[in-house]
Structure 1
Amino acid sequence: MKFLQSLENVVTPANGMAVTAGVFLTPIFQYFYGKDRQDILIVFLFLIALDWITGISASKRDKSYSSEYGISRIPRTLFLIALPAVGNMLDRVMGTPGFLFYGVTFGLIYHTWTSLTANAHRAGWPMPKSIENLVGSEIKAKAERSARKEYK
C-alpha cells in the first residue's frame, strides 16, 4: 500500500508532459545531431552558457553593454547551435561517420572557449598566465572592440 501511495508523487501531469515531450523530441534531436552525441553537445552548450555569463560580466565591468548587442547575440547563438546539425546531416549524405560533425563541433568549442576566456579576462577574473597567452589575440580584439564601444 505504501508503494502505491509513493507513486502519487511520481505520476503527475507535469511528469506526464515531460515524458511526452521527451518521447517526441528525442528522435528529432537524434535525427539532427546523431545518436550518442549528447555528451559533446552538452559540453558545447555549457561553454556557450559560460560565454554569455562571462560576456555579461565583462561588459558590465567596462560599461560597454547594450541590450541591442545582447539581443543580437541570440540569432548568432542559434546559428552556432545549428552548425553541428548541418555537419551531421552532411556526414550522412557523404557517408562519413561523424567527420564533419566532430570537426565543426570541436572547432566551435575551441572558438567559444577562447571567447569565454577572453571575456573572463576582460571581466577581471583570475586566470593562469599560460591561458592568457594562449588566447592573447582574442583578449586584445575584445579589448579593442570594447574601447571603440562596438558592443553598443
Structure 2
Amino acid sequence: MKFFQSLDNVATPATGIAATAGAFLTPVFHYFYGENRQDILIVLFLMIVLDWITGVEASHKDETYSSDYGLKRIPRTLFLFSLPAVANLLDRVMGTPGFLFYGVTFGLIYHTWTSLTANAHRAGWPVPKSIVNLVGSEIKAKTERAARKEYK
C-alpha cells in the first residue's frame, strides 16, 4: 500500500501531459532529424546556448545590449535548428544517408563555435591565444559591429 501512495507524486496530470507530448513529439523528431542523432543535436543545442550566453556578456561589456537584440536572435536560432532537419529530409530524398545532415550540422557547430569564442574574447573571458588567432576575423567583425552599435 505504501508503494502506491508514493506514486501519488509521480502520477499527476502534469506527468501525464509530458508523457503524452513525448509520445507524439518523439516520432516527429525522428522524422525530421533521423534516428540516433540526438547526441550531435545536443552538441549543436549546447553550442547555441553558449553562443547566447557569451553574446549577452560581450554586449553587456561593450554596452550594445538591448532587449530588442535578444528578441531578434530567436528567429535566427529557430532557423539554425531547422537547417539540420532540412538537410536530413534532402538526404532521404536523394538517398544520401546522413551526408547532408552531418555536413550541415558540423558546419553549424563550427560556425557557432567561432561565434561563441569571439564573444567570450570580447567579454574578457580567458581564451587561449592560439584560439584567438583562429577566430581573429570573427572577433574583428563583432568588435566593428559593436563599435557601430549595430546591435541596438
Q: TM-score of the superposition, structure 2-length normalised?
A: 0.96
Alignment identity in percent?
78
Q: One-letter code of the match for 1:90?
A: L
Residue 143 of structure 1: aligned partner:
143
Report SS of the residue matched to 1:11: coil
The alpha carbon displacement at 1:20 in A equals: 0.3
Equivalents in 2 of 1:17, 1:151: separation in Å? 39
Counterparts of 2:50 and 2:57, CA distance in 1: 11
Detail structure 1 runs of 4+ shifted over 6 Å in the superposition: none
Structure 1 segment 123-142 matched on structure 2, within 5 A? 123-142=123-142
Give the Cα–Cα distance (whole angstroms) in 2 for the partners of residues 79 and 128 of structure 1: 31
Q: Which residue of 2 aligns with 1:53?
A: 53
Distance 2:70 2:14 in 1: 32
1:131 deviation in Å? 1.2
Match of 1:31 in 2: 31
**Within 2, Cα distance between the matches of 1:111 and 1:38?**
19
1:10-25 aligned at under 5 Å gives the runs 10-25=10-25
- Worse-matched range after superposition: 66-75 or 55-64: 66-75
Which residue of the partner structure matches residue 92 of structure 1? 92
For residues 71 and 10 of structure 1, what CA distance do their matches in structure 2 show? 36
Deviation at 1:52, TM superposition (A): 0.6
**What CA distance in whole angstroms lies between the structure 1 residues aligned with 2:6 and 2:71?**
45
Unaligned runs of at least 5 residues, structure 2: none
CA distance in 2, matches of 1:6, 1:39: 33
SS across alignment from 1:53: helix
SS state at 2:125 partner: coil
State the distance in 1 between where 2:62 and 2:31 align. Answer: 42
Instruction: Report SS of the residue matched to 1:36.
Output: coil
How is 1:52-91 mapped onto 2 (pairs within 5 angstroms)? 52-91=52-91
The equivalent of 2:40 in structure 1 is 40
> For 1:67 and 1:12, how far apart are their aligned partners in 2?
36
In structure 2, the partner of 1:122 is 122
Any idea what the Cα deviations from partners look like across 1:5-64, whole Å, max 9, x if unmatched? 222221111111110000000011111101111111011011111101110100000001
Please report how far the alpha carbon of residue 69 of structure 1 lies from its aligned counterpart in structure 2 after TM superposition: 2.4
